[in-house]
């Protein structure tokens, strides 16, 4: 089975968002992934997040690499722009698209093989450059598509389905993203849609490189005893540092909070992010403390989830480079080709 068309009909009472779309309008083709694969739950959270944010699907560009995870953009946002690139090369293609047209909302979807093995360099550089994007890493600790080899995020000592032990040290992608200068860093679990959906919404609103590592069990090759990326292991060792709620710009807040332990973070676009603290000593604006807490949790075999770091003064690549605001495809010949006089002036400035 490689392709199944989805029926277009839907129930007339299906709820619509303020721009008149139902959740079905944010879906894609029928998934061909294994039943129970964590990646499908991440697609469901993405559909929910874009529907709740009332984003027009044609305003979104979704780019991915190669892998089961990288196939998923076909299963959501069927009316958005999409580019299934080359293994480990999504970040550079996305960077180019973003530089040419900043008017779109950029979503990068990748796997642990795609990002932490062949694409490790690209991953590091897209974070340090601050490309305005939401980078979702669907982390199952294996190369699912090529039948379950250990990936670079597999924990040392964890077991493969047939019993082999992984002897290599793991790449911890959230630590790396922090080290590289990402301005929004989170970790979540595909089995926790309540936590994941607002994390995605806040990442989309974030003006810079937003990274979410989502532990996403592979039921075919890495969901057994001895795996640290199985549903059972993550449920037993999930340590949430906070819970997040997100309101897009200036919407009335109707939820009640007890005053203690809640931080309110206003976004540059008028949105509001509320963080309910679960760990008294966890401050997501403190990069050094975040790094220490992540390392300490990993040492204890815990999976630290939630919003791990948020920079209060994030900027994106366009701000760093002071680029021209209009998308290249909106510029006329006069702007793109300012003539011999201008060329002479530029050349003179370089002499």
Ligand X SMILES: Cc1ncc(C[n+]2csc(CCOP(=O)(O)OP(=O)(O)O)c2C)c(N)n1
Tell me which residues touch ligand SF4 (CB under 6 A).
33-34, 37, 39, 68, 140, 144-145, 218-221
For 9, the token pair is 């009909």
Looking at beta carbons only, is 66 or 205 nearer to ligand SF4?
66
- Angle at the Cα of 97 from the Cα atoms of 86 and 145, rounded to 5 degrees: 25
Of these partners, ligand X, Mg ion, ligand SF4, none, which one is at the site of residue 87 (CB under 5 to 8 Å by kind)? ligand X
CA distance 208 to 186: 14
Q: Stretches 145-153, 186-194, 306-314, 318-326: which one binds ligand X (CB under 6 A)?
A: 145-153
- Positions in 126-165 near Mg ion (CB under 5 A): 140, 144
Whole-angstrom CA distances from 94 to 60, 80, 157 are 12, 14, 35
Nearer Cβ to Mg ion (132/173): 173
Residue among 28, 111, 208, 306 that touches ligand X (CB under 6 A): 111
Report the candidate in 104, 101, 85, 82 with the shortest Cα–Cα distance to residue 93. 85
What is the CB neighbour count within 10 angstroms for residue 228?
21
Candidates 9-17, 112-120, 258-266, 286-294: pick the segment binding ligand X (CB under 6 A): 112-120
Q: How far is the CB of 87 from ligand X (least distance, A)?
A: 4
User: Is residue 217 a contact residue for Mg ion (CB under 5 A)?
Assistant: no
- The 44-83 contact track toward ligand X, x by CB under 6 A, reads ----------------------xxxx--------------
Cβ distance 206 to 192 under 8 Å?
no
Report the residue from 143, 233, 246, 282 that binds ligand X according to the rule CB under 6 A: 143
Q: Does 148 bind ligand X (CB under 6 A)?
A: no
Q: Does 222 bind ligand X (CB under 6 A)?
A: no
DSSP secondary structure letters along 96-153 = HHHHH-TTSEEEEEEEHHHHHTTTHHHHHHHHHHT-SEEEEEEE-SEETTTT-EE-TT
- Dist. CA 317–CA 208, nearest whole Å: 8
Tokens of 343: 């060329």
Q: Which of 201, 211, 186 is nearest to 48 (CA)?
A: 201
DSSP state of 34: P
- Both structure tokens of 262: 């809640």
- How many whole angstroms separate alpha carbon 202 and alpha carbon 255? 17
Nearest to 90 by CA among 120, 53, 58: 120
CB 189 within 8 A of CB 196: yes
If contact means CB under 5 to 8 A according to the sort of partner, which of Mg ion, ligand X, ligand SF4, none does residue 262 touch? none
Among 144, 208, 217, 306, binds ligand X (CB under 6 A): 144
Q: Measured from the CB of residue 73, what is the shortest distance to ligand X in angstroms?
A: 12
- Given Mg ion, ligand SF4, ligand X, none, residue 199, with its beta carbon under 5 to 8 Å by kind, binds none
**How is residue 212 written in tokens?**
């979410």
Closest CA to 42 of 14, 59, 64: 64
If binding is defined by CB under 6 A, does position 114 make contact with ligand X?
Answer: yes
Does 316 participate in binding ligand X (rule CB under 6 A)?
Answer: no
Question: Pattern 116-135, binding to ligand X, x per CB under 6 A?
Answer: --x-----------------
Residue 25 lies near ligand X (rule: CB under 6 A): no
Residue 37 binding target from Mg ion, ligand X, ligand SF4, none, CB below 5 to 8 Å by type: ligand SF4
Centre a 10 Å sphere on the Cβ of residue 162 and count the other Cβ atoms it contains.
8
Among 25, 27, 74, 112, binds Mg ion (CB under 5 A): 112
From the list Mg ion, ligand X, ligand SF4, none, partner contacted by residue 146 (C-beta under 5 to 8 A by kind): ligand X
Q: Which residues bind ligand X (CB under 6 A)?
A: 66-69, 87, 111-114, 118, 138, 140, 142-146, 151
Q: Which residues bind Mg ion (CB under 5 A)?
A: 111-113, 140, 144
């Amino acid at each position: 089975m490689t392709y199944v068309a989805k029926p277009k009909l839907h129930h007339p009472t299906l709820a619509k968002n303020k721009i008149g779309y139902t959740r079905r309008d944010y879906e894609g083709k029928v998934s061909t992934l294994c039943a129970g694969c964590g990646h499908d739950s991440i697609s469901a959270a993405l559909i929910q997040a874009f529907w709740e944010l009332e984003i027009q699907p044609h305003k979104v560009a979704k780019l991915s690499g190669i892998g089961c995870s990288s196939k998923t953009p076909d299963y959501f946002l069927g009316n958005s722009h999409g580019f299934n690139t080359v293994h480990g090369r999504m970040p550079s293609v996305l960077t180019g698209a973003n530089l040419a047209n900043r008017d779109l909302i950029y979503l990068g979807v990748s796997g642990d093989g795609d990002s932490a093995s062949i694409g490790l360099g690209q991953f590091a550089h897209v974070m340090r450059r601050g490309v305005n994007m939401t980078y979702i890493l669907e982390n199952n600790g294996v190369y699912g598509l090529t039948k379950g080899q250990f990936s670079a995020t597999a924990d040392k000592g964890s077991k493969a389905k047939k019993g082999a032990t992984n002897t290599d040290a793991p790449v911890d992608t959230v630590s790396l993203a922090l080290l590289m200068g990402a301005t929004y860093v989170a970790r979540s679990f595909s089995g926790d849609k309540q936590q994941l959906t607002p994390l995605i919404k806040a990442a989309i609103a974030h003006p810079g490189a937003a990274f979410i590592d989502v532990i996403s069990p592979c039921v075919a090759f890495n969901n057994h005893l001895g795996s640290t990326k199985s549903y059972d292991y993550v449920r037993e060792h999930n340590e949430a540092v906070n819970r997040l709620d997100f309101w897009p710009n200036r919407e009335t807040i109707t939820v009640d909070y007890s005053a203690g332990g809640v931080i309110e973070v206003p976004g540059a676009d008028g949105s509001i992010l509320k963080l309910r603290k679960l760990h008294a000593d966890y401050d997501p604006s403190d990069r050094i403390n975040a790094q220490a807490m992540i390392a300490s949790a990993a040492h204890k075999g815990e999976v630290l989830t939630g919003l791990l770091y948020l920079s209060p003064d994030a900027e994106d690549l366009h701000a760093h480079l002071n680029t021209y605001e209009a998308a290249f495809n909106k510029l006329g010949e006069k702007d793109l080709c300012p003539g011999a006089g201008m060329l002479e002036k530029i050349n003179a400035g370089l002499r």
